[in-house]
Structure 1
Amino acid sequence: MVVITPSTDHVTVSPNATMTGLAAPSRGSTRLSTWTVRMDAGTTGPEDSISREQVWTVTEGTRELPWAR
């Protein structure tokens, strides 16, 4: 088992969120990408275009999925 430790090298900051990449093909995963994302309440992110499987785990608050309305 590989243990992934968040690194400042894999942090992306936008006006709406801070995203920390964990698993990704560039870090040894075959296809899966996993992120932790921190957003303030009431903010929205840009429309996302996903090119591979991603795992998002909400640890606090909620996420509204536009396709699940």
Structure 2
Amino acid sequence: MPEVDIKKGEPIDRALKRLKGKMESEGIIEEMRRLRSFETPAQRTKRKARAAAKRNRGNRFRFTLREDKPKEERS
């Protein structure tokens, strides 16, 4: 569980913002939203497919931009 030390004279809003940032970075908020209601197997499959597509978005151009040059014949 993430902890936030509140300094003397620090506004509560700032401490809550730091706590929220730590919770988001650890994935706690996303897990709470996911567990708030029952997720059917079909919904779980769609969620995982969307996450995989999001991870692979940058990779699809890596291979398509490379020009295929014919290999030179060896003598």
User: Normalized per residue, which structure has more helix?
Assistant: 2
User: Normalized per residue, which structure has more strand?
Assistant: 1
Higher relative contact order (CA 8 A, sep 6+): 1
Larger radius of gyration: 2
TM-score class, shorter: under 0.3
Q: TM-score, normalised by structure 1?
A: 0.24
